Structure 1
Amino acid sequence: MPPIQDHPLRYSLANELHARPFPALKTPCRAVFLAIKKAKGAASRDKSLDLRHLTDLLDRYGAPHPQPGATHFQGAIGRHMLKWEQHTEFVTYTVFLEGLGERPYDAADFEVFPSEWLDDAPGVRVTSCLIRCEIRPEGDAISDPLDDWFVPESLAVSSVIDDEAVIAGDFRIDPAGHTRFAVFTRQGVGQRRVGRIVQRLTEIETYKAMSMLGFTRVKAISPRMGEIDSELTRLMEVMTQGEAPAEETLKALLAVSAELEALSAQTSFRLGATGAYEAIVEQRIDVLREERWDGRQTFREFMTRRYDPAMRTVKSAERRLGTMAERAMRAGDLLRTRVEVERSAQNQQLLESMNQRADMQLRLQKTVEGLSVVAISYYAVSLAAYLLYPLAEAVGLSRGMLTAGVVLPVVLAVWWMIRRIRIQMEKQGPTL
């Protein structure tokens, strides 16, 4: 019996769930992270350039290439391990180094990415991180190094994953241009668990930076949104008070609506992506299962105080833009209805005027018809008199009496003839 046929995408979809495994890290170690994004049009970029840039880095280390069309790669580059991922708008490079190095957060670690290779990147740096993982000292004596490595007023520290590790970071950019994070793990914590913690930290930093792009976009359009809002309010007042012709006001409203639609089209992707990135940041923090450590603020509290207000601003601007577009649309519909009513009234007046003119034409036509009867009768009587003059002497009548005698029959005959012609034309109706 032949096996049942599989869906063409069954295996590819199943493998997608396992395509990007977490790294396995042995503490102590370090991680160097870099996220690159094209400055404009990142979602529609030529993604083959990302893969070409990756292979250029691998060639510098003599490492094997990924599969054609790959969106993720993990392999050795020299003595280090590289993890590369391609996303909708950006690509990330994470290099894991063994040991702690001579100095904490040594900028020389970033030299794993050659400077000339960085210069050829198909985009700009969104964020970069230096992450230090070490064994948690006895008695949790880690406050002193934290105060040395981070800015105290911004420092966030949490106990995570059921107290298996302590994570710390201040989300600031150090003099070398990198964000710093520290991970202190208990002795015996699994390598994949350490890898998951490091991966979550890089994702929180990356998606935080990406979502803040929406905040900068909102700040850029906020002044113009305020101007449009004022113009829309003014037009609605004009519409209510009837200070200007309705058609002029409608034209101005349509211009405002068109500009609002253009703004919505220009910002819809960025605002939508910002909402998605914010949700990922929230989810990544949730899976860390934070607990307060030594009275310090947690990552969640840091985001609540610094990050969440920016995201609320983005959401508020998005709602405001949608509300303004709806207001302009409703006002345009009302004003369009008003214009149509006014035009209907004008058309009614025009029809009444046409009816009056038609009535006048009918009366004039009847008057002309009467005059036509008189004129035709005059000429007909004259012609009839000339025909009957020879008979006047035979019957003993004068010419005047004979002419007077034919006037009435001729007038009646002419009137009847013209009336028949008019009735016949009315029956036939108008002709094109």
Structure 2
Amino acid sequence: MPIADHPLRYATVNELHARPFPALQVPSTAVYVAIKEPVQAHNRDRQKDLAHLVALLDRHGSQHPQPGATHFQGPIGRAELKWESHTEFVTYSAFSRGLSKRPFDPADAEVLPEDWLAQAPGKRLTSVMIRIAPLPASDAELLAQLDEWFVPESLAVSRVVDGAAVIAGDFRIDPAGHMRFAVFVRPGTGPRRVGRIVQRLCEIETYRAMSMLGLMRSRDLTARLNALDPRLSALVSGLDNAEPAPEAALHDLLSISAELESLAVQFSFRFGATAAYEAIVNQRIEVLREQRIEGRQTFGEFMMRRYDPAMRTVKSAEGRLKAMAERAERAAELLRTRVDVERSAQNQKLLESMDRRADLQLRLQRTVEGLSTVAISYYAVNLMAYLLEPLAYRFGISHGALLSGLVPVVVLGVWLMIRRIRHHLS
């Protein structure tokens, strides 16, 4: 009998080949759009994403994706469409052969119609136009074109993948709402290598935009931490003061701790995602293997100057939230210890008071026992006198003499009886 396969064996292998790189000829144009829900949703409604994709495919009579698919590649008219569904966003890439006469012509983006984009289940996170052209004969001609197309102050340009191509971009949004990149390809470079370079440019921009969402969220978090920090500092500095009462201070501290934990729950996913997206951005830039051209800044240097400080701000806010939560926890432990010590002292005083009361009660009880001996003896003497008076009369004993004789005997008997009862109870 052949050995049975694990039920997920083929699924895990197929996942390695689920999103192949496009094969792009030179010259060509790439239009790329990423769409994300504006709310802080961790998972998208994939059925809405598929329905939106099918609406675009139906315009061109193209084949539909499989039910539940997370990626698709097929033609839409003259262009080749690539669709991918991710955890937080969905992307559309349209690749067309040839170049328009006007560099980065907004008409090239009409391959993804505006009325169709307006019906997307989400908002546009990033929109990119990439012009893929042959490499000019000289660096001077290349740089002249780049200075004409891009803002020189923020232009990043480098030779990548062992000189197979030159990539350039200024990471600015043009009046048509697109970010522009240029890819100049060396003759003899294969279509799949060109496709990998273009795909990495799209990923760099997408994950840069996604990670920058963490910066916006960290600013909100910083404002809320700035409001909590003075309260927490005041409570911590007043731990050794008599006022406010430890119970009241502990209640306030627990309120701050609860708010900090709530902030941690709200921001933990975004901070974790930001760290993951930052790692992807740096990894995508690293695999490009950049080489400097004519002293111009590379993509890596641009990110180091403009992008890395934003990521450090996010990490700083995350670290500050964690540090404040730990500080609040330590302060709460100290306050609880102080409350426990004070309660122990109160309990000790209460026990001492109870001991004094018990001692007084015991003394009072003994006093009462002495009085009760007299009272019982009094009634017992009278009863015995009534009982023995006829016999005493026969023997000529007077009433007074009878009482005098009975008193010592009865008192001694009652005293012995009470003592025996107390000894038995003890």
Contact 1:374–1:411 (CA under 8 A) maintained in structure 2: yes
Alpha-carbon distance in structure 1 between the residues aligned to 2:337 and 2:393: 83
Report deviation, 1:393: 4.4
Deviation at 1:396, TM superposition (A): 4.2
Tell me, yes or no, if the aligned pair for 2:132 and 2:183 is still in contact at 8 Å. yes
1:9-28 to 2 correspondence within 5 Å?
Answer: 9-28=8-27
1:210: which partner in 2?
210
Q: Is the 8 A contact 1:43 1:88 kept in 2?
A: yes
2:234 is aligned to 234
What is aligned with 2:411?
411
Once residues 393 and 230 of structure 1 are traced to their aligned partners in structure 2, the CA distance between those partners, rounded to angstroms, is: 100
Deviations 1:55-79 (A, max 9, x none): 1110011110011111011111111
Contact 2:44 2:87 in 1 (8 A): no
- Aligned partners of 1:375 and 1:332: how far apart in 2? 62
User: 2:162 is matched with which residue?
Assistant: 162
Of 411-420 and 70-79, deviating more is 411-420
Q: What displacement does 1:399 show?
A: 2.2
CA deviation profile, 1:284-335 (whole Å, cap 9, x unmatched): 0000001111110000110010000000000011011001000101110111
Residues 1:186 and 2:186 aligned together = yes
- Contact residue 42 and residue 90 of structure 1 kept, 8 A: no
Give the aligned partner of residue 127 of structure 1. Answer: 126
What is the correspondence of 1:254-265 to structure 2 with a 5 Å cutoff? 254-265=254-265
- In structure 2, distance between residues paired with 1:8 and 1:394: 118
Q: CA deviation at 1:274?
A: 0.3
TM-score (norm 2): 0.97
Give distance in 1, aligned partners of 2:29 and 2:187: 17
Q: Structure 1 CA distance, aligned partners of 2:9 and 2:387? A: 113
Letter of the structure 1 residue corresponding to residue 108 of structure 2? D
Amino acid of the structure 1 residue aligned with 2:127? S
Match in the other structure for 1:85: 84
CA–CA distance in 2 between the matches of 1:296 and 1:283?
21
The match for 1:50 is 49
Q: Is the 8 A contact 2:157 2:293 kept in 1?
A: yes
1:115 maps to which residue?
Answer: 114
- Residue 24 of structure 1 and its aligned partner are, at CA, apart by 0.4
- Unmatched runs of 5 consecutive residues or more in structure 1: 428-432
- Stretch of structure 1 that moved more, 25-34 or 392-401: 392-401
Map of 1:29-428 to 2, 5 A cutoff?
29-140=28-139, 141-424=141-424, 426=425
Q: Deviations over 1:330-359 (max 9, x none)?
A: 110111111111111111111111111111
For residue 349 of structure 1, give the secondary structure of its aligned residue in structure 2.
Answer: helix
> How far apart in 2 are the matches of 1:277 and 1:352?
65
CA contact (8 A) 1:165 1:183 kept: yes
Indicate how the Cα distance of structure 1 residues 366 and 106 shifts in structure 2: closer, same or farther if over 3 A, else same: same
Deviation, structure 1 residue 391: 3.6
| Contact 2:36 2:123 (8 Å CA) reproduced | yes
Q: 4+ residue stretches of structure 1 with deviation over 4 A?
A: none
* CA distance in 2: counterparts of 1:413 and 1:240, whole angstroms: 65
Distance 1:167 1:24 in 2: 17
**Quick one: distance in 1 between partners of 2:90 and 2:153?**
31
In the alignment, structure 2 segments of 5+ residues that lack a partner are none
For the residue of structure 1 that corresponds to 2:138, the secondary structure is: helix
CA contact (8 A) 1:31 1:94 kept: yes
Cα distance, 1:379 vs. partner?
Answer: 1.1
- Secondary structure at the aligned position of 2:127 is classed as strand
Q: Aligned partners of 1:27, 1:324: CA distance in 2, in Å?
A: 55
Instruction: Report the counterpart of residue 430 of structure 1 in structure 2.
Output: none
Determine the C-alpha separation between the residues in 2 that align with 1:42 and 1:29: 35
What is the deviation of 1:394?
Answer: 4.1
Normalised TM-score (structure 1): 0.96
Are the equivalent residues in 1 in contact too, given 2:30–2:129 (CA < 8 A)?
yes
CA–CA distance in structure 1, aligned partners of residues 17 and 114 of structure 2:
33
Letter in 2 for 1:379: Y
Percent identity between the aligned chains? 65
Counterpart Cα distance in 1 of 2:59 and 2:41: 26
